[in-house]
Structure 1
Amino acid sequence: MPIRVVKGLPAIGELSQENIFVMDSERAESQDIRPLHIVVVNLMPRKETTEIQLLRALSNTPLQTEVTFLYTASYKSSNTSQEYLKTFYRTFDEIKEEYFDGLIITGAPVEQMPFEEVEYWQELSEIMEWSKTHVCSTLYICWGAQAGIYKHFGIHKEDLPSKLFGVYEQEVQNGKPMLMRGLDELFYMPHSRHTTVSESEINAHPQLEVLARADKTGVGVARSYDNKHIFIFGHPEYDRDTLYQEYDRDRKLGLDIDIPENYFPDDDPTKTPMIRWRSASTILYTNWLNYYVYQETPYEVSELQSREYEQPYIQDWVI
């Protein structure tokens, strides 16, 4: 089934060339289908690129999904015009009385700042607090994962001695949760960050579980046992050239940036990177959407507030 977005969103054209069926809101209104309602807080500077990546990742499912993009009103983007945001995005004030099946909070290039010093932290905190009663399950990506696990569970981020930058093997720690269904015991994921979270603190927390990790990256994927919070500390949605674009940008700025690890063949930036993480990305996003959103949300999404989600475990099956 198609992804449903605001009419005219530029991502529609590029995704259509990939044979991904994206339906605008005008056409979707003619169909008598209850789509899943997903809201995305897009904190990335290159918002159009992130839109394409996330819509592609959410498209590999028979479920019709309506995506609403949010921007933070408390921060004025320097990379995306206000006209673009007002046309294709909404603010939290505009949607806070609504209910959504799922929420995605992206990464952001502010990871070395204390959370409370981030310009939009108060607004983002309010969104995360709102999600407890207005969203079935939330997927947090990279800095968004660090922000979410800090906000909800008090796990602090820590500076790394150098930037974690490249494509890394992740080892599954528990294959039973439905989020991990279909993943190999080892899978690949891009990472691009200066900070990490304490694996020992997550392991010691009674409501949290590490699902995938590596010695080089630390925790790759974690969850709360009630599946309300899914934390992905890398970027499985990245395109083939995303790490190259980051590397080329920093190099041209004269920054001390190493070649992304395990990315270019023979570590040669003139060679085209080979995608090794796309299937894992498809599995993670599809499993989240199917098992932790679609299978758990009520048909009348406004009933979320009256449902009980504090049980320590939601049943997982392994096949």
Structure 2
Amino acid sequence: MPIKIPDQLPAREILVREGVSIMDERTARRQDIRPLQIGLLNLMPNKIRTETQFARLMGATPLQVELTLVRVGHHKSKNTSEDHLISFYQTWDEVKDRKFDGFIITGAPIELLPFEQVDYWKELEQILDWTTTNVHSSFFICWGAMAAAWHFHRVPKYTLEKKAFGVYRHGNNVPASPYLAGFSDDFAIPVSRWTEVRSADIPTESGLEILMESDVTGPGLLSELMGNRLYMFNHIEYDSTSLKEEYDRDVAAGVPIDVPHEYYPNNDPGRPPLNRWRSHAHLLFGNWINRVYQTTSFELGKVGVSKVQKLTA
């Protein structure tokens, strides 16, 4: 099944060119099925790029997905036009009475700030608490994952001496996990961050399980059964050229930056980079969507009820 996104969303043209199946509003209304309701809280500065990346991965799954774009209400974007935000986004205040089968919170380029100094931290804490009652399964990405791990389990983040930047091999720690069905024993994932979490800080009683881990960059993906949450500390959703654009930007600005690890052929920035993570990105999101479909309530209004019962028992 295709993904349903607004007809005029800029990502639509890109996805159509790539062959991703897109459903228009009229066709979606004719289908006698309940699409999965997925929300995307987009904290990245280039919102159009990020919308496209996540829509691409969800549009490749065999289930019908209806994507709702969400933004924090108490932060003004410097990199995306207000017209785009007004046309395609809703604030969390506008959606907080809704229920979602799945909800994604992206990364944000603010990882060096203490969480409490982020200007929308109080609102984000409210959103994270809201996911326990109004969302069946949450998927946190990069800084969003660190923020959620701190909020729910007080897992700290540490500043790195040098940016973890490039494509790193990760091991498959739990091959039997439904989220890793079909995964290789090891695989490449893009990493771009100045901070890290450490496996030694994950509370044993938290129910958090390390699904992916790198010998160099540490935990890559955690799952949490009780809260039905995934924490991805890296950017598996990245395009082929995302790391290149970050590298070129820093070089042009005179910012000291290493050539991204194992990204360019022969580590030569003059050559086109190779995408060695695309298949696993599609696999992870396909597994997540499939898991959401198998475990969510058919009646959307009942989403979150069983989670609240478990958490208050």
Classify the TM-score, shorter chain.
over 0.9
- Cα drift, residue 205 of structure 1: 4.0
Work out the CA distance in 1 between the residues paired with 2:307 and 2:260. 44
- The aligned counterpart of 1:189 is 189
Tell me by how many angstroms 1:24 deviates: 3.2
> Offset of 1:175 from its aligned partner?
1.1
Per-residue CA deviation, residues 174-223 of structure 1 (Å, 9 max, x unaligned), is 11110011000101100000000121122634411111111111001111
Q: CA deviation at 1:69?
A: 0.6
| TM-superposition CA deviations, 1:20-44 (whole Å, max 9, x none) | 1112334422332210000000011
Deviation, 1:51, is 0.8
Partner of 1:299: 298
Aligned mates of 2:188, 2:308 — CA distance in 1: 32
Q: Secondary structure at the match of 2:202?
A: helix
Contact 1:103 1:138 in 2 (8 A): yes
What amino acid is aligned across from residue 110 of structure 2 in structure 1? V
Partner of 1:149: 149
1:103-252, aligned counterparts within 5 Å? 103-202=103-202, 204-226=204-226, 228-252=228-252
Letter aligned with residue 193 of structure 1: R
Kindly indicate whether residue 16 of structure 2 is the aligned counterpart of residue 16 of structure 1. yes
Alpha-carbon distance between aligned partners in 2 of 1:70 and 1:146, rounded to the nearest angstrom: 19
Identity across the alignment (%) = 41
Distance (whole Å) between structure 1 residues aligned to residue 225 and residue 9 of structure 2:
36
* Structure-2 separation of matches of 1:135 and 1:52: 22
Q: How much has 1:60 moved relative to structure 2? A: 2.0
* Counterpart residue number, 1:316: none
Structure 1 regions of 5+ residues with no counterpart?
Answer: 313-319
- Specify whether residues 145 and 308 from structure 1 end up closer, same or farther in structure 2 by C-alpha distance, changes over 3 A only: closer
SS of residue matched to 2:77? coil
Q: State how far apart, in whole Å, the 2-side matches of 1:311 and 1:216 are.
A: 36
Deviation at 1:310, TM superposition (A): 6.7
Determine if contact 1:180/1:284 at 8 Å carries over to the other structure. Answer: yes
For residue 256 of structure 1, give the secondary structure of its aligned residue in structure 2: coil
- Contact conserved, 2:153 with 2:203, CA < 8 A, in 1? no
Count of matched residue pairs = 311
Report the AA paired with residue 295 of structure 2: E
Q: In structure 2, what is the equivalent of residue 37 of structure 1?
A: 37
CA drift at 1:311? 5.7
Distance 1:26 1:94, change over 3 A: farther
Distance 1:308 1:96 in 2: 17
The answer to whether the Cα contact below 8 Å between 1:179 and 1:288 also exists between their aligned partners in 2 is: yes
Residue of structure 2 equivalent to 1:268? 268
Contact 1:3 1:64 in 2 (8 A): yes
Residue 304 of structure 1 and its aligned partner are, at CA, apart by 1.9
2:49 aligned residue:
49
Name the SS of the counterpart of 1:295 in structure 2: helix
- CA deviation profile, 1:207-248 (whole Å, cap 9, x unmatched): 111111111110011111336110111111111100000001
Q: Could you say if the C-alpha distance between residues 214 and 203 of structure 1 is closer, same or farther in structure 2, counting changes exceeding 3 Å?
A: farther
Q: Residue type of the partner of 1:245?
A: E
Aligned residue type for 1:297: T
Mapped partners of 2:309, 2:226: distance in 1: 7
Using structure 1 for the length normalisation, give the TM-score.
Answer: 0.94
Structure 1, 194-203 or 268-277: larger mean CA deviation: 194-203
Q: Distance in 2 between matches of 1:206 and 1:123?
A: 24
Contact 2:132 2:308 in 1 (8 A): no
Whether contact under 8 Å (2:21, 2:60) holds in the other structure is: no
The amino acid of 1:71's aligned partner reads: R
Q: Using the alignment, how far apart are the partners of 1:156 and 1:82 within structure 2? A: 34
User: C-alpha distance in 1, partners of 2:265/2:16?
Assistant: 30
Give, in whole Å, the separation in 2 of the partners of 1:172 and 1:226.
21
Tell me the SS of whatever aligns to 1:38. Answer: strand
Measure the CA separation in 2 of the matches of 1:156 and 1:24. Answer: 43
Q: 1:32 to 1:246 in 2, by over 3 A?
A: same
Two-structure CA RMSD over aligned residues (Å): 1.4
Q: CA separation of 1:140/1:276 partners in 2, compared to 1, >3 Å: closer, same or farther?
A: same
Structure 1 Cα separation of the partners of residues 125 and 146 of structure 2: 13
1:187 aligns to what SS in structure 2? strand
Partner of 1:317: none
Deviations 1:50-105 (A, max 9, x none): 11110111122210000001111111000001111010010011111000000000
